[in-house]
Amino acid sequence: MCGIAGQVGQDPRQNAEQYKIYCAMQQSLSRRGPDQRGMYIEGPAALIHARLAVVDLDGGRQPMQYEQGGECYVLVYNGEVYNTPELRAELCALGHTFQGHSDTEVLLHAYAEWGEDCLARLNGIFAFAVWQKRAGRLFLARDRCGVKPLFYALRGGTLIFGSELKTLLCHPLVPPRVDAAGLAEVLLLGPGRTPGCGVFSGVRELRPGECAVFSSADGTLQTRLYWQLVDHEHPDDFAATVRRVRELVLDAIERQLVSDVPVATFLSGGLDSSIISAVASEVFKKQGRPLHTFSVGYRDNKQYFHATKFQPSPDAPYIRRMNAALTARHHWITLDTADLVPALYAATEARDLPGMADVDASLLAFCEHIKPHATVALSGECADEIFGGYPWYRDKTVRERYGFPWAQSTAYRASFLRPGVLGDIDPAAFVDERYQQTLAETSVREGLSADERRMRQMVNLNFRWFMQTLLDRKDRMSMWHSLEVRVPFCDHRIAEYLYSTPWEFKDHEGREKGLLREAMRGVLPDEVLWRKKSPYPKTWHPAYLAAVSERLRAVIADPAAPLLRLLQKQKLEALLAGDDGRDGTPWYGQLMTRPQTIAWFLQLDHWLRHYRVELV
């Protein structure tokens, strides 16, 4: 994985001062790409790269150039293409030759050969930019599921782009200004974001499955979706569906184990990470090398853990059962309050926005422990969205409730706001507009029952919103420590096939992700295969609540605190006292209850300070 950035425009002012800006943009990506750096600066274009070397360590340097048919193509790329061998063979048959074995070189040749149509051939996670020198044309693209980020801002006739928001903010044309709409994104939807929204004024993000063309001649930018989930008649009966799911999942995992650097897996003892670890263990065993697996826990959690509807059992017994079944070296990582609280601020800087509080912070600290052992890790994100694992898929009352099922908190959020902070934006209407827009854009074929129609809506809502929040989290927290995390369940073939699969198949035997469980029979021990879903673990230690509460009290004791420009002090005091009248619905998702809400306000205050956010 890497970080990419650049500027293309009619007058990029190629001088020493402009070069300093490019260097600052490149430096902002140093955690994403600590191994190699490169720049291409010529005419109206500057392409910037910071590399984390994973495949073809010597031959995959960027920016990479290639000439064909009188055109010079220049590529900067962040990602992995998992079907590189097939693409290389196809291109060789067409007369292409290659200097190394990197997927970067194959991607560049693929674009030179097929242009924008190359996107339909790619299996992978990516964000890339290709400059065509003769045509004066920049092409940008992002992978179908949105695993890798790509932000941009159009200022007059100049396009500025980068892997992270902080990279754009290094450019003087992109000041850290946030208008009322951007503030509403943070305060009413955060840590989620409207697809394509970059929060800062004038900043956008390519949506999953979107590409763009920028012309340096006239300064115009055109975007289009090249992929989205489309409903169709499911072609298979249940038995055939089970076989196909097994084929797809095994193939996705095995493809994503390819690397020239050490590979590890996350192992929580849950279904998804256990499947990945089991498959990886078998592959590594055949290759005669050990797999390293990693799990995260919290000090004294055994003492303080208590079962809830969302988190019914601790992970440790299931991790131990998987350890006994695998040929792997397992690493237990135990975090404490002293690790989690400071990491809240680093996690905000990694995401460039307030995030999922200690759910982000713990992952960031966890990845720091993994990095000395591996440069690549595989994780189980996105199976719940695609296979219907969350409670809001399976609880009919929750499923049919109006609005985003993971964020039924708009009125509660709005109660904290100072009058006039959002201008004339009505909080309920702001959130509702985004919900309705997503429903309107959901593909549902004719003739479906009301229940099946709602399930298509639920999948699309989760795919576009909740899954993106988790993918943002995984990308930013891992890349902060130069760790590439791959997510096999985000293989677009799995998403396409499962989208139209009948709910009765997915809900096999009345179990969450019952179809996936049935498909993975024999891969996992039965007690893990049929374990009730439990989400990413969080700390239950009362010391954590005490620590974040103490810090928030210190923040609001300062009349000049940026947080108090937005929020009512008495409402924050009521939250700290535990008498804010909350009805038990989380701030966001299943894990952000009162301690995490307090921690989120700490992140919000740090974001306003660190980025010197200008409210306009």
Q: How far apart are CA 312 and CA 306, in angstroms?
A: 8
The strand pairing partners of 5, in sequence order, are: 48, 162
Q: How far apart are CA 20 and CA 14, in angstroms?
A: 10
Nearest alpha carbon to residue 344 among 27, 605, 614, 574: 605
User: How much of the chain is helix, strand and coil, in % rounded to 5?
Assistant: 45, 20, 40
The strand pairing partners of 484, in sequence order, are: 376
> Tokens 């009730």 belong to which residue?
532
Residue 91: count of CB within 10 angstroms of its CB: 19
Nearest alpha carbon to residue 596 among 379, 389, 398, 340: 340
Per-residue DSSP letter, 464: I
Could you say which of 2, 118, 211, 382 is catalytic? 2
Number of residues written out for the chain: 616
Hey, is 266 helix, strand or coil? strand
Nearest alpha carbon to residue 109 among 126, 92, 124: 92
Please enumerate in sequence order all residues whose Cβ is within 8 A of that of 420, keeping only pairs 6 or more positions apart, or say none.
Answer: none
Check if 382 is active-site.
Answer: no
Q: Where are the alpha helices (DSSP H) in 352-502?
A: 358-370, 383-387, 391-394, 396-399, 410-414, 427-440, 450-461, 467-479, 492-499
Residues belonging to the active site: 2
